[in-house]
Structure 1
Amino acid sequence: MLTTEERIYTLSYLWKEAEYNYAFWSMHPEIDWDMEYRRLIPFAINAKSDLEYYLLLMKFYALLCDGHTSVMPPYELVKNRSVPFRTVRAEGKFLLSEVIKGKEELLMSEITQIQGLSVNDYLDKYVYPFYWHRLPESLFAANDCIESSIMFNFKADESVNIITNKGDFSFKMSEKHDTVFIDERVKPPEALEEHFKSESLAISVTEDHIAFIEIFDLYHSEITSEFKENLDFLKGCKGYIIDVRGNTGGMGDPPIEIAGYFISGKYPVKSEAKTPSHSAKYHALEPYIDMNSPDLSDPWQRKIYQIATHTYYELLPENGEADGYIDFDIRKTVLTSPAILLTNHTTACAAESFVSYFKISGRAEIVGTTTFGSGSEAMIRDLPLGGQMRIATTQSKLIDGSEFVNKGIEPHVTVEKSADDIAKGRDKVMITALKLLRSKNL
């Protein structure tokens, strides 16, 4: 168990790092971060277990209301606990995609109660105080909130009861259970011939020469050269379906480099990416102004006030920006056939930048669901026992100046998966995209 000193130090570390590095203090003037820190100290000291302590840390960072800022508890604290079910979100419901063996009739049934609470009441008590995202669908798509919350909040030998619209079951996390599950992987709606596949990129083609380009992530720099190596093949295709569903981002250069093969033109950068900046000198001058009523028309007072409230920012250049523009014509546009982009609630960060280039330029229709809504550079640090924290360190907008953090990018054509789609492995988004593309008389 963590010592009192370790608990106080870790809490203090989280307080300090957010105080100086969190990018969105300007949007949360109502939060008294110092007061919240001081209020939490006795609870941190008196927590009955390390898991209870970590739940306090999760609630502490959830106060910051940012989908890219959180505390993740150590797996070590729950490794002997087993939750014998999994959920999938569809039609605004939590459906069982995995259940205890012998309860197969409950597969794809809707959860209506957990531990005597309605689903909404359960979320209010055991999920939302610890996780935060303005878009619930993004939160649930990126996290196993129901399963994790049970693991974190109930005792291992406590009986947990789940009621669905087709029946109920109970279990104890201290006991092992065999389970059965549905295969949630979607099946291609028609035959595809694989042309190329790597860790980050896969290219296949339909019989009528529509290229299906899957970009799994943007973390590997090799993806740019891999894409370039396949240009000759892609030039011969009649259309492109570019799939960034589940792509959680990566580096800033590959999105603009790959997009440049599809997009032409020069676009003004109206965004203002910025990160908190601190000055010890101006912080020292704080006693010389009235912090309760500063004269913000005075540049000197304004800077002192902004430094003190952590709302003074350094502007950052956009990836690929030069003289206030992003010029896609630097790289010769060679892929000119019609294109459609596929997104979902876990398309995030650098992948959202990629999506934005196509939306702003009008180069492709976007089909699927709203993206995750996170464009911030995350500061990630390890915590005791194997926990982890992350803090959003950058405020960013799309290059046209529109907001997307905690909002996401909406598709042109919204296609939500149904329970029946999931059960049958039907890729309704891909089916819709193929139909739209073929309607363009390729």
Structure 2
Amino acid sequence: MMKKLCCLMVLAAFGMLPEADAQEPAMHTVGIEIKGDTMIYRNVSVPRRHPAGVRGRAWAGYSHAPWSAEEKLFALSKFWMETKRNYAFMDRFGARTWDSLYMSLIGPAQRTRDDAEFYRLLQRFCAQLGNEQTFVRQTRDFPQSAVCFEDGWVLRLMDVGGRVTVSEVSRDKAEIVPPGSEVVEVDGQRVEARLEEVMSRVSASTDRVRRRIAVDELLLDLIGTSHEVEFRRPDGTGVCVHLVNRRADPSQMPECVSLPGRSWEALREDFRLEWYPDDVAYLKIGSFRPGRVFKAFHDAFPEVTARARKLIIDLRFNERGSNYMAAEFLSHLTRDTVLCGGMWRTRIYDASLSSWGAGAVAADTVNNARVRTAYQHYNDEAFSEFERSEYRFPPTREVLVVPTAILVNDATSSAAEIFLDMAASQPHMTTVGATTSGSAGAVAFYELLPGLGCGICTREVRHSDGREFVGRGIAPDVAVEDTLEEMMSGRDAALEKALEILR
């Protein structure tokens, strides 16, 4: 036990280290030329990151050659090809549908006016798959912002009961647009119409998550872009504000005010321990990454085990991490020594088998396993057998088994959903909140162009009993939705329900 804990603490320590200078590249690849079938890369020197880690500053004066029409076609084609070969759910989406979408974008992609327009086209292409673990990302210094604007404006938005609501605003602007105000129009366009356009390029596994992300990115645009935004304040009065996107500078962020307990930092806090009456311990777990969170949990666990009679685990906005770390956390809250972390399969391909299946038709596969296998490989329909993920822990580890409520929402995803799958077998645990993200799986990363890449979900993950949750989410045992009135008064409906259940 001690050896295992020591190893995990070493991982935690490394997770806390800042990036070493030796990891910073001295060169960066830019401006590909395509000559025939050969790609020619150019390397140029780039400045190192700002000592405080603010990449925007270090790269502020660094310009990029715009992507050419040939480069855009290459990036589009590579994304189409790698997705068709690797995407775990291509059998559901349909290879022919994917091919048709690709063909329809060949001309428009080459005619896009600039890199930003091409990037958004690629985002819309990717979003058609409806999978949060499959995405495109740019790493060029696109000067854009979603929350910072000129004249000292900071503005964060959230979806509350179907309304685009101001959750956080810079303090000196709160009299103009107080937290709780509703966005009514953007640039003369009704907010729902604007959201539809943004949602069309959001990669998400459910409509609810797609809308949440689109609300976050409602005002995302290039630096210097002007917006006229109309708000309806909590008192019913309206106000129109002129906003100009500005580059975010973490070192000069103004003080902000938010809906009680709904600031960005509070919602995405890595770890927090609080105590409620009757020795109810509340643990905020912001991620299942190795590092700070596990160390904080490990340090707090002796106090929790000595005092807690009941427990609340808050996994809302827990979107990242390792399945093993999720199992490691849960292993201290159950006496089970084996935890089943779902089942999964992945796409497979064998070129020789594919050649044998080239002349086969579906009727040939009936009662002929060999032909069926060859046919599946030729038609990109071959999968590995399902495997079960199991995690084993020694019976001597320190555990706390008490009535436990787990708080979840639509930003509970990935390893946190694996945690919920394992916790479903625990009779002393109850989930409270909203349906989760429905997003899990291993991601393969590919470079499309220098400064442009993609991630593709390569695993189809299911519950331990075979039920599907990717694209659907995991429904809580007790459903609770926040209202704006509760938020304005500082209430947390899911937390209150959890305390009621544990009473």
Q: TM-score range by the shorter chain?
A: 0.7 to 0.9
Shift of 1:337: 1.8
Question: d(CA) in 1 for partners of 2:301 and 2:243?
Answer: 54
Question: d(CA) in 2 for partners of 1:385 and 1:186?
Answer: 40
**Conserved? CA contact 2:177–2:231, under 8 Å:** no
- In structure 1, give the amino acid aligned to 2:333: F
Shift of 1:348: 0.8
Aligned to 2:385: 315
Question: d(CA) in 1 for partners of 2:254 and 2:426?
Answer: 48
Extract unaligned runs of 5+ from structure 2.
Answer: 1-65, 263-268
Question: d(CA) in 1 for partners of 2:460 and 2:440?
Answer: 8
1:119-130 maps to which residues of 2 (within 5 A)? 119-124=191-196, 126-130=197-201
Aligned to 1:341: 406
Extract unaligned runs of 5+ from structure 1.
Answer: 188-198, 322-326
Change in CA separation of 1:376 and 1:175 when aligned onto 2, cut-off 3 Å: closer
Shift of 1:352: 0.9
Shift of 1:108: 1.7
Shift of 1:388: 4.0
Aligned to 1:250: 321
Shift of 1:296: 4.6
Deviations 1:131-164 (A, max 9, x none): 14353332344x2x24635434x89555544354
Aligned to 2:493: 428
Shift of 1:307: 1.8
Question: d(CA) in 2 for partners of 1:409 and 1:433?
Answer: 18
Aligned to 1:376: 441
Question: d(CA) in 2 for partners of 1:290 and 1:379?
Answer: 31
- In structure 2, give the amino acid aligned to 1:273: W
Shift of 1:28: 1.5
Find out whether 1:115 has 2:187 as its counterpart. yes
1:337-416 maps to which residues of 2 (within 5 A)? 337-382=402-447, 384=449, 386-416=451-481
Aligned length: 417
Greater RCO (Cα-Cα under 8 Å, separation 6 or more): 1
**Conserved? CA contact 1:224–1:257, under 8 Å:** no
Shift of 1:78: 3.5
Shift of 1:411: 1.3
Percent of matched pairs sharing the same residue: 23
- In structure 1, give the amino acid aligned to 2:220: M
Find out whether 1:298 has 2:375 as its counterpart. no
Q: 207-216 vs 106-115, which deviates more?
A: 106-115
Matching residue within 258, 276, 280 for 1:183: 258
Matching residue within 66, 69, 72 for 1:4: 69
Question: d(CA) in 1 for partners of 2:289 and 2:397?
Answer: 24
Deviations 1:96-148 (A, max 9, x none): 23568386256422223333433333333x1232114353332344x2x2463
Deviations 1:302-346 (A, max 9, x none): 22232233221123533326xxxxx77856673222111111111
- In structure 1, give the amino acid aligned to 2:128: L
Q: 212-221 vs 346-355, which deviates more?
A: 212-221
Change in CA separation of 1:268 and 1:87 when aligned onto 2, cut-off 3 Å: closer
Question: d(CA) in 2 for partners of 1:102 and 1:248?
Answer: 30
**Conserved? CA contact 2:405–2:430, under 8 Å:** yes
Change in CA separation of 1:318 and 1:331 when aligned onto 2, cut-off 3 Å: farther
Shift of 1:349: 0.8
- TM-align CA RMSD: 3.4
- In structure 2, give the amino acid aligned to 1:217: S
**Conserved? CA contact 1:296–1:302, under 8 Å:** yes
Shift of 1:383: 5.0
1:1-150 maps to which residues of 2 (within 5 A)? 1-29=66-94, 31-74=96-139, 76-79=141-144, 85-98=155-168, 101=173, 104-105=176-177, 107-124=179-196, 126-141=197-212, 143=213, 145-146=214-215, 148-150=217-219
